[in-house]
Every structure is written in C-alpha cells, then in structure tokens.
Amino acid sequence: MHDVPVFDRVAPIYDALLPGTAREPLDDGLSYAERDLSTLVDLGGGTGRAARALAHEPIVFDGSQGMLRKARNQGMAAIRGDVRHLPFPDASLDAVISVDAVHHFPAVPTVVEDVFRTLAVGGVFVVREFDPDTLRGTALVAGERLVGFASTFYTVDELDGVLDAAGFDTIVEERGFVYTLVGVKPDPK
C-alpha cells in the first residue's frame, strides 16, 4: 500500500497530531445496517482512533505495523494486511467502517469490491472522508502532498459512484469538507 511507509514513520506521534473521532456520525451510518452488528472491521484503522469511538469492538485492519502496534497496545484486536485482499470469508462481516483512510488506499474500486464480498446481506460500509472540492479539502490535498502521501481523494459523488458500481445501495448521510457515505449490501433476490 503506497502510504504505509509514511504511516510507519508517524505512528509514534499520530494520535497526538489528530483529534479523536466523533462517535455520532459513525453511529448514524451504522444505523442503516439491516442486521445485528456483531462483526465489525475498521478498515485502514491505524492506531484504532475511530475504533475507540464506537460502542462495538471492531477489528482494526491496516497495512502499517507501527500504527497497529499502538492499537494492540490499547487492547484492540488488530490485523495487518492489504486492503485490496481482505482475509475474511465471503459474507462474514456485519459492518466495515473507514474513517479518514480511503484516500490512502490503492485501487479504491478493488477495495470497495472486496468490502462488498466480505459483508453479509444487510451489512453496511460506513465511510467518513474529506471532499477535495471544498476549500479546506483543497488545502488538505496540498498538505498531504507536502508530507509525502500519494493520496487519491474522491468527492462524495465520485465515491458514491464507486460504491454503487460494486453493488451497494448508497446513502449520503452528510456532505461538506467531511462527508459520510453509507453503502448497504442488498439482498440479491
């Protein structure tokens, strides 16, 4: 994954640099699930910053060993791997969240297709991301380039199209500099 080396370098100070994650937008997104939420994954979850905001106890999945070390040190279940090839069986997850991470993923359509594969019918994919078409988003894109990230930002409508193409029923829960997009895996009947 292309931004993992940068995250490995900043892992020791990452949580000090960023504020905690707000729980309400995640809960709002998870409320669209059409099933009980017992198996949840925080995709690109790093140190577990978003996972700590949830009432559920997700598995933190990330490519950065340094970030996951911090999550494990806080008692979280953590798996290191490539977001394009999730190590979960078909239809085995109830929900996947991704907070401030999708823009760091390589081959986002492939990632979204694999999330779709791993979700059970009625499961949800909740994405909190930054819109590059906003003024603050433009500044963030420039800032990430300066730090050395190879980020690819999607507007809410662009990412909505990626989720739709993978088969999700989508809901734009929130628009703005930070947006929340929810994909629900429909029953194929």
Q: What is the pLDDT of residues 111-158, one digit of tens each?
A: 999 999 999 999 999 999 999 999 999 998 898 888 778 889 999 999
Domain that holds residue 122: 4-184
Burial of residue 152 (number of CB atoms within 10 Å: 0-12, 13-18, 19+): middle
Of 61, 99, 105, which is closest to residue 79 (Cα–Cα)? 61
Instruction: Label the pairing between strands 119-130 and 178-184.
Output: antiparallel
In a domain, 165, yes or no: yes
The whole-angstrom separation of Cα 26 and Cα 96 is 11
In a domain, 117, yes or no: yes
Q: Which amino acid is at 186?
A: P
Number of structural domains found in the chain: 1
In a domain, 149, yes or no: yes
In a domain, 189, yes or no: no
Token reading at 26 = 């995640």
CA distance readout (Å), 10 to 42, 65, 67, 70, 162: 19, 11, 8, 11, 30
Give the confidence band of 48 by pLDDT, cuts at 50, 70, 90: confident
The whole-angstrom separation of Cα 26 and Cα 99 is 9
Q: What is the pLDDT of residues 1-39, one digit of tens each?
A: 566 665 655 545 455 555 567 788 999 999 999 999 999
In a domain, 43, yes or no: yes
In a domain, 12, yes or no: yes
In a domain, 127, yes or no: yes
In a domain, 178, yes or no: yes
CATH, residue 134: 3.40.50.150
